[in-house]
Structure 1
Amino acid sequence: MASLSIRDVYKTYPNGVPVLKGVNIDIEDGQFLILVGGSGCGKSTLLNMIAGLETVTKGDIQIGGKTVNNLSPKDRDIAMVFQSYALYPSMTVRDNISFGLNIRKVPKGEQDQIVSRVSKLLQIEHLLDRKPGQLSGGQRQRVAMGRALARDPAMFLFDEPLSNLDAKLRIEMRSEIKLLHQRLGTTIVYVTHDQIEAMTLGDRIAVMKDGIVQQFGAPQEIYDSPSNLFVAGFIGAPPMNFIQGKVVEQGSGVGLELDTGVKRGVLNLPFDGAVKSHVGKEVILGLRPERITDTRNAHNVDDGKHQPIDVKVDVIEPTGPDTLVFAQVNGKRIVSRVHPGANPQPDQNMSLMFDVSKAVLFDPETEQRIA
C-alpha cells in the first residue's frame, strides 16, 4: 500500500493552455480516492500524471512519501485499469492476466499461483481458457482488473473503467470494485464523470472543474456541505434545488421570501450571524429533493425546521419507492421526493413540507457558500 500526496501541481501544455491549476490532494494508505468532474476538468490528466504518462509542469507528486515526478511508470509500483480494457485479443484470459508476470520473468509456478488467486478473487476461474472475444463487457473488465491485481502494486489507478458497460452491469461492477477494495485494502485512485460512482465508491472525493479542485472531502461531507454552487449541483441525483429569493427579517431570525404561484410567504431559515448581513439581499437557497416531501412522509415536523408550503404540481415521475414531484417556486422548477401514497396529480395544489435542517445558502454573484 502507499499514501498519495499531490502538492501544488500544475499542468500546462506546450501551446500554453493550462489544464491543472494548483491541485492539492492527500490520501492515506489504503484509501479510495475519486476524481470526479465533467469532460475537460483535468481529472484524467491528473491520473496520467500520477501514473507517469504525463509530465508535471510544476509541483510534486509523492507515492508512499517518495517524489515520483521523474520516475518512469514502471518504477512507480502502480497498476492501471483503462476504460477500453486493453486486452490482447489473441491471448486467453490466463495469458492476459499473466502477461506482465512474463515480462518480469516471474517463475512459471509462481505465475500459476498468482493467476489462480486473482481469478478466484474475481470469480473468473471458468473463463481462463477463453479469449476476450468470447467474453461479455463485464467479464472483460474483470480480466483487465485481474491483470492489474496480478502485479500486486502499491496503488491501483482506474480510468473510467465502467463507462462502456450498460446500466445494470455498471451497478454490479461498482459493487465488485468496492468489495475488492475492502478485501485488499490497497490504495485506489479512480476517475469518473459519474457522481453516483463517486458517492458509492470513494473514501475521499475531489470534485474538479476547469483544472481546479472545487472541494475535497468525504462523500457525505460533500453531499451535505457543498462549498459552492457547482459542487452542490454536480453531486446528487436528482441534483440539489436552487431557490433564489430575498432574505428578510423573521422575528428574531431570518427567512426567505417565497412565491409558489399558489401562495406567497416566508420560509424560516435556521441561520443567523453571517446571514443577518444579507437581509434585503438576494441569496440562493440549496435544498436536496429528499428535504422537500409530503406532510405524511416528513419526520420531526415539530422541531422548528419544517414548514409546509403550498405549491401547484407541474409534473410527477413515479420511481417505485417514491415519486418525484416538480413544482414552481420563485419562478424556478424544483423537485421533491414524496411517498407514492401521497398520490400527487399534475395541475393540483399540494402541501409540501420543507425541511431546512440541512439547507445551505449561496451568494448569487460569487456562487460560494454563505452558510
Structure 2
Amino acid sequence: MGALSIRKVRKSYAGVEILKGIDIDIEQGEFLILVGPSGCGKSTLLSMIAGLDEITSGDVFIADRRVNDLSPKDRDIAMVFQSYALYPSMTVRENISFGLEIRKMPKAERDAAVDRVAQILQIEHLLDRRPSQLSGGQRQRVAMGRAIARNPALFLFDEPLSNLDAKLRVEMRTEIKLLHKRLGTTIVYVTHDQIEAMTLGDKIAVMKAGEVQQFGTPSDIYRNPANLFVAGFMGSPSMNFIKAKVCESGSGLGLEMESGGERFAFPAVNGEGLAAWKGREVIVGIRPEQITEVVDSHGDDPRVVRQSLPIVLSEPTGPDTLLLVHINGAKVTCRVCPDFAGVPGEKMALMFDLSKVVYFDPSTEQRIK
C-alpha cells in the first residue's frame, strides 16, 4: 500500500447509498484529483478520508495505517477548505501557528515553522495582518500555510479555489502546482472543474452518482475515456458526439455522414471493434481540436480527411476561434486559427484528424474497443 488506499468504501444516509464501493490507491507524493458534477459524492469521500464522516463499510488506509476508527486529529492530515476557515481575530502568524500550539510544539519551533511556510508561500509581509485585511488569494495562501506548517502525511483540499475570480483561480492553480512540486507532498483535491483536474493531477478519479467512472492519469482519461460520461465531462470545449451508421467503405469500414444536405463517409479509423456494428449506429467521439482549418503538414495521412461544411456560428476566443457546424443533426464544435475562420452562412474546408477518434455504444454508453 502507498500514501492512501481506499478499499470498497460505501456510504449510506437513511438507506440511500451515496458512495457505491470506491477503490482508489495512490503512492507517496502523488496528487489525486476527485472530480465530478455536484452531488457525485466526491466531497463525501473526502470527508470520510478526513474522519469528518463515518464509513458505512470498507476501509481507508493512510500511510499503511487503517484509520476508520481514528479521530481526525489522529489521522496525520491537514485540510484546506473552500471557505478558508481562518480565525478573524488572529493575525496571519497566529492563524498559521495555532494548530502547532494546540499540539504543544515549543514556541521556537513554532516560529521557525511559520517563517518557513511564509517564505515558501511568499507571505512574509502579511504575517501581522488579520484575515479581513487580505484579498481572497492571500487568504487562500494563509489557509494553505496553516496546513503546510503541520507537515502531515496527507493534504486534503476541498474545492479551495471556487470562491476566487477566474484570473486568480489560474494564478492559484499555478501556485498549488509549484507548491506540490517543491514539497513533494501527497494531496487529495476535490473539484468540479475539469480544467483544474487536468492541470493539477497526477491521477484523476472521475466520479458520477457515487461511483468512480474512470481512474488514471490526465492524459489517459482525456485520450482514452472509458464511457460517454467521462468523454463529455473531461475537456473544454467538451468532446463532440456524432451518431453515425457503420457502413462498408472500400476495403474497410466507414461512417455515414450528412451536413447541409450533402452526404459523405469518413473512414472508421481505430475501428477494430466495429466489425459487429456494420449497418448499425454508433456514437463517434471527436474533440474540437481534431477539427481544424486545412494544413498541409499531414501530407497523405489516410487518418486525416477533408470536408467542406456550412458554418453555423463563430465564437472568437482570442487564440482560437470556435466554429459550430452540423453533422448528422449534431452540433459539432471545431477549433480553428482565427486568421482562417470561416464566416457563418458560408462553407469552409475543414480537416478532420481521425487518429484519436473514439466510439461508444449508444445503449450502454460504454467505449467500443
Tell whether the structures are fold-level matches, with TM greater than 0.5.
Answer: yes
How many residues were matched structurally? Answer: 369
| Alignment correspondent of 2:117 | 118
SS at match of 1:48: helix
SS at match of 1:45: helix
Which of 338, 349, 352 is the equivalent residue of 2:350?
352
TM-score if structure 2 supplies the norm length? 0.98
* CA drift at 1:289: 0.3
Deviations 1:145-196 (A, max 9, x none): 0000110001100000000000000000000000000001010000000000
SS at match of 2:311: strand
TM-score if structure 1 supplies the norm length? 0.98
1:181 matched to 2:180: yes
* CA drift at 1:250: 1.1
* CA drift at 1:272: 4.3
1:277 and 1:253 map into 2 onto residues whose CA distance is: 13
Structure 2 vs 1, CA of residues 336 and 343 (structure 1 numbering), >3 Å: closer, same or farther? closer
SS at match of 2:273: helix
8 Å contact kept, 1:9–1:59: yes
8 Å contact kept, 2:255–2:268: yes
8 Å contact kept, 1:30–1:187: yes
Counterparts of 1:282-301 in structure 2 under 5 Å?
282-296=281-295, 299-301=297-299
* CA drift at 1:246: 0.3
Deviations 1:230-288 (A, max 9, x none): 00000000000000010001122111100011521101111344211101010000001
Structure 2 vs 1, CA of residues 262 and 301 (structure 1 numbering), >3 Å: closer, same or farther? farther
| Alignment correspondent of 2:339 | 341
8 Å contact kept, 2:246–2:282: yes
SS at match of 2:190: strand
8 Å contact kept, 2:323–2:341: no
* CA drift at 1:321: 1.6
1:7 aligned partner, one-letter code? R
Counterparts of 1:1-371 in structure 2 under 5 Å?
3-13=3-13, 15-296=14-295, 299-371=297-369
Structure 2 vs 1, CA of residues 118 and 202 (structure 1 numbering), >3 Å: closer, same or farther? same
8 Å contact kept, 1:262–1:310: no
SS at match of 1:357: helix
1:8 and 1:114 map into 2 onto residues whose CA distance is: 38
1:78 and 1:309 map into 2 onto residues whose CA distance is: 55
2:329 and 2:322 map into 1 onto residues whose CA distance is: 19
* CA drift at 1:5: 0.6
1:180 and 1:28 map into 2 onto residues whose CA distance is: 18
2:190 and 2:299 map into 1 onto residues whose CA distance is: 40
1:302 aligned partner, one-letter code? D
8 Å contact kept, 1:318–1:324: yes
1:370 aligned partner, one-letter code? I
2:4 aligned partner, one-letter code? L
1:128 aligned partner, one-letter code? L
8 Å contact kept, 1:36–1:208: yes
* CA drift at 1:343: 3.2
* CA drift at 1:299: 3.8
1:43 and 1:322 map into 2 onto residues whose CA distance is: 33
1:125 and 1:160 map into 2 onto residues whose CA distance is: 25
* CA drift at 1:73: 0.6
2:219 and 2:199 map into 1 onto residues whose CA distance is: 10
2:59 and 2:293 map into 1 onto residues whose CA distance is: 51
SS at match of 2:367: coil
8 Å contact kept, 1:258–1:330: yes
8 Å contact kept, 2:270–2:357: no
SS at match of 2:359: strand
SS at match of 2:89: coil
1:5 aligned partner, one-letter code? S
Deviations 1:21-64 (A, max 9, x none): 01110100000000000000000000000001111111111111
* CA drift at 1:115: 0.3
2:82 and 2:95 map into 1 onto residues whose CA distance is: 16
8 Å contact kept, 2:293–2:341: no
* CA drift at 1:17: 1.0
Task: Mark the runs of 5 or more structure 1 residues left unpaired by the alignment.
Answer: none
1:12 aligned partner, one-letter code? S
